[in-house]
Amino acid sequence: MEYTSTIGLEIHTQLATKSKMFCRCNNDAEDKAPNTVVCPLCMGFPGTLPVTNKQAVEWGTKVALALGCKINLFQRFDRKNYFYPDLPKGYQISQFFFPVGENGKLLIDYLADDKRTKKEFTVGITRLHLEEDAGKSIHASNATLVDFNRCGTPLMEIVTEPDITSPEEARIFMQELQRLVRLMGVSHADMEKGHLRVDANISVRPKGQKELGTKVEVKNLNSFKYLEQALKFEIDRQIKILESGGVVEQETRGWDSKTNTSISQRSKEGSIDYRYFPEPDLPPVVLTEAEVNSWKKDLTMLPRELREKSEKFKLSYDRVTELQGKDALLGFVKLMEQDSSLDPKAVANWPNADLAFYQWIMKQEPTSAAIKQVYTAINSGVKLTDAIKQIRTISVGELESTIKTVLSENAQAVAKHQAGETKIIGFLIGQVMNKTKGSADPDQIKDMVSRLLTK
Q: Are residues 154 and 53 in contact, defined by beta-carbon separation less than 8 angstroms?
A: yes
Q: How far apart are CB 286 and Zn ion at their closest, in Å?
A: 25
Cα distance between the two ends of the chain? 67
Residues in contact with Zn ion by CB under 5 A are 23, 25, 39, 41-42
What is the distance between the alpha carbons of residues 55 and 18, in angstroms, rounded to a whole number?
A: 9
How many CB atoms neighbour CB 409 within 10 A?
13
Burial label for 143, CB within 10 Å (0-12, 13-18, 19+), is exposed
Q: How far apart are CB 79 and Zn ion at their closest, in Å?
A: 18
Q: Which is closer to Zn ion, CB of 40 or CB of 438?
A: 40
Residue 132: its H or E element: strand 118-132
Q: Which is closer to Zn ion, CB of 20 or CB of 80?
A: 20
What angle separates helix 396-409 from helix 411-418, to the nearest 10 degrees?
Answer: 90
Q: Are residues 104 and 67 in contact, defined by beta-carbon separation less than 8 angstroms?
A: yes
Q: Which is closer to Zn ion, CB of 47 or CB of 420?
A: 47
What is the distance between the alpha carbons of residues 88 and 149, in angstroms, rounded to a whole number?
A: 12
What is the distance between the alpha carbons of residues 297 and 99, in angstroms, rounded to a whole number?
A: 21
List of residues 6+ apart from 215 with CB closer than 8 A: 6, 8, 162, 201, 202, 203, 250
Q: Which is closer to Zn ion, CB of 109 or CB of 133?
A: 133
Q: How far apart are CB 19 and Zn ion at their closest, in Å?
A: 8
Q: Which is closer to Zn ion, CB of 39 or CB of 396?
A: 39
Q: How far apart are CB 43 and Zn ion at their closest, in Å?
A: 7
Q: How far apart are CB 88 and Zn ion at their closest, in Å?
A: 11
Q: How far apart are CB 39 and Zn ion at their closest, in Å?
A: 3
Q: How far apart are CB 355 and Zn ion at their closest, in Å?
A: 44
Q: How far apart are CB 186 and Zn ion at their closest, in Å?
A: 20
What is the distance between the alpha carbons of residues 76 and 66, in angstroms, rounded to a whole number?
A: 21
Q: How far apart are CB 154 and Zn ion at their closest, in Å?
A: 12
Q: Which is closer to Zn ion, CB of 153 or CB of 367?
A: 153
List of residues 6+ apart from 100 with CB closer than 8 A: 57, 60, 61, 64, 69, 71, 72, 75, 128, 129, 130
Q: Which is closer to Zn ion, CB of 47 or CB of 245?
A: 47
What is the distance between the alpha carbons of residues 436 and 450, in angstroms, rounded to a whole number?
A: 17
Q: Which is closer to Zn ion, CB of 150 or CB of 307?
A: 150
Q: Which is closer to Zn ion, CB of 19 or CB of 95?
A: 19
